[in-house]
């Protein structure tokens, strides 16, 4: 029954993320959200399972596709919608938008639109934790494409040399924008990480929130003991790389793979629980949208603040 309670908690957060993003899809044609959005629909289980497996003061360094991590880490929904709307009430007063969500008060330490660029930040925070004798860990969240960047290799090497408490979390959706792995990678991620002496685990069941949570708990325990770890979670991006539509008609991928994933997606399969939770979540979302609508736009007084 304990697992049941945890499952329900995870499921609710995952559903919140999905319904938030579905609301974004509805709102998008209205041009109220005037910035690129990278939806995590299909990948919610990763953010939810991972964040639930962390301690509240563990820090997450994320990417432009981070609505899920923002919500799973406990960021304010009102401030998120206002941020997407580009309003003063936004978490960053409208200067960040969807691609740069942050909620340092709950441990989301920023998200960057330049692939792989926050990976060394997690290593740096972990270095600080180690020097100060803290028990916190830092989590670098990135996609499989980011592992092709040089700074990923630099970060693994340094983390292994310094033995800092960092969890490298790869959300493997198999795509870098529209490019598939065979044209991008001559290596296999686990073998590559092992060459630095870093332990790894690859979890194929990226729809399974409890399994992800458990894998995170186990990995985080190792990390907390002072060893970096690479946790690779296979997942599926249902929507286009950026934007709110689907992209199967461009024929760079087929719907089959995504359909197979959807058949195991608890947010689709478990409709009973969805319907039980939906009304409450929708009220929460509508309140956040109303908050954003009512929030004033920033202006000249804000244009040049916080530059230096």
Q: What is the dihedral of CA 77, 102, 54, 285, to 10 degrees?
A: 10
Do the Cβ atoms of 281 and 19 come closer than 8 Å? yes
* Residue 37 near another protein by CB under 8 A: no
Q: By CB under 8 A, what part of segment 55-74 binds another protein?
A: 59, 61
Give the C-alpha distances (Å, rounded to integers) separating 15 from 8, 172, 294: 10, 21, 25
Q: Choose the stretch contacting another protein; rule: CB under 8 A; options: 32-40, 115-123, 188-196, 210-218.
A: 115-123
Q: Which is nearer to another protein, 41 or 126 (CB)?
A: 126
* Residue 145 near another protein by CB under 8 A: no
Q: Which is nearer to another protein, 243 or 298 (CB)?
A: 298
* Residue 139 near another protein by CB under 8 A: no
Q: What is the 3-state secondary structure (H, E, C) of 35-98?
A: CCCECCCCCHHHHHHHHHHCCCCCEEEEECCCHHHHHHHCCCHHHHHHHHCCCCCCCCCCCCCH
Q: What are the residues whose beta carbons fall under 8 Å from the beta carbon of 217, sequence distance 6 or more?
A: 53
DSSP-based helix, strand, coil % in the chain, nearest 5: 50, 15, 35
Q: Which is nearer to another protein, 148 or 240 (CB)?
A: 148
Q: Which is nearer to another protein, 96 or 215 (CB)?
A: 96
Q: How far is the CB of 67 from another protein (least distance, A)?
A: 16
* Residue 117 near another protein by CB under 8 A: yes
Do the Cβ atoms of 172 and 144 come closer than 8 Å? yes
Q: Which is nearer to another protein, 48 or 123 (CB)?
A: 123
Residues 132, 222: Cα–Cα separation, whole Å: 19
Q: Pattern of binders to another protein over 83-112, x per CB under 8 A?
A: -------xxxxxxx---x-x-x----xx-x
Q: By CB under 8 A, what part of segment 244-303 binds another protein?
A: none
Q: What is the largest CA-CA distance in the chain?
A: 55
Q: Which of 16, 27, 46, 119 binds another protein (CB under 8 A)?
A: 119
Q: Which is nearer to another protein, 190 or 298 (CB)?
A: 298
Give the C-alpha distances (Å, rounded to integers) separating 9 from 28, 175, 224, 306: 29, 29, 24, 37
Q: Which of 15, 77, 138, 234 binds another protein (CB under 8 A)?
A: 138
Q: Which is nearer to another protein, 45 or 82 (CB)?
A: 82
Q: Which of 41, 122, 167, 230 binds another protein (CB under 8 A)?
A: 122
Name the site residues for another protein (rule: CB under 8 A): 59, 61, 90-96, 100, 102, 104, 109-110, 112, 114, 117-129, 131, 138, 150-151, 154-155, 157-158, 161, 305-308
């Amino acid at each position: 029954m304990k697992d049941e309670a945890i499952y329900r908690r995870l499921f609710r957060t995952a559903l919140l993320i999905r319904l938030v993003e579905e609301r974004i899809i509805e709102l998008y044609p209205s041009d109220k959200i005037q910035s690129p959005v990278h939806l995590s629909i299909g990948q919610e289980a990763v953010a939810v399972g991972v964040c639930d497996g962390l301690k509240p003061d563990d820090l997450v360094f994320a990417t432009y596709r981070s609505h899920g991590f923002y919500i799973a880490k406990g960021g304010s929904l009102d401030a998120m919608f206002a941020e997407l709307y580009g309003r003063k009430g936004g978490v960053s007063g409208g200067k960040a938008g969807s691609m740069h969500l942050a909620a340092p008060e709950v441990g989301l330490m920023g998200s960057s639109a330049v692939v792989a660029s926050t990976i060394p930040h997690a290593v740096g925070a972990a270095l600080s934790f180690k020097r100060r004798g803290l028990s916190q860990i830092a989590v670098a969240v990135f996609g499989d494409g980011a592992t092709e960047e040089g700074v990923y290799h630099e970060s693994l090497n340094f983390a292994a040399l310094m033995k800092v408490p960092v969890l490298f979390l790869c959300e493997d959706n198999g795509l870098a924008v529209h490019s598939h792995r065979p044209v991008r990678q001559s290596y296999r991620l686990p073998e590559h990480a092992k060459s630095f002496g870093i332990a790894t685990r690859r979890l194929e069941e990226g729809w399974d929130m409890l399994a992800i949570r458990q894998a995170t708990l186990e990995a985080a325990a190792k990390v907390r003991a002072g060893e970096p770890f690479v946790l690779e979670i296979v997942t599926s991006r249902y929507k286009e790389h950026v934007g709110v539509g689907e992209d199967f008609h461009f024929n760079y991928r087929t719907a089959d793979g995504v359909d197979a994933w959807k058949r195991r997606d608890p947010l689709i399969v478990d409709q009973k629980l969805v319907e039980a939770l939906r009304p409450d979540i929708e009220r929460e979302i509508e309140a956040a949208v109303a908050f954003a609508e009512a929030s004033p736009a920033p202006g000249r007084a804000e244009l040049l603040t916080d530059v230096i």
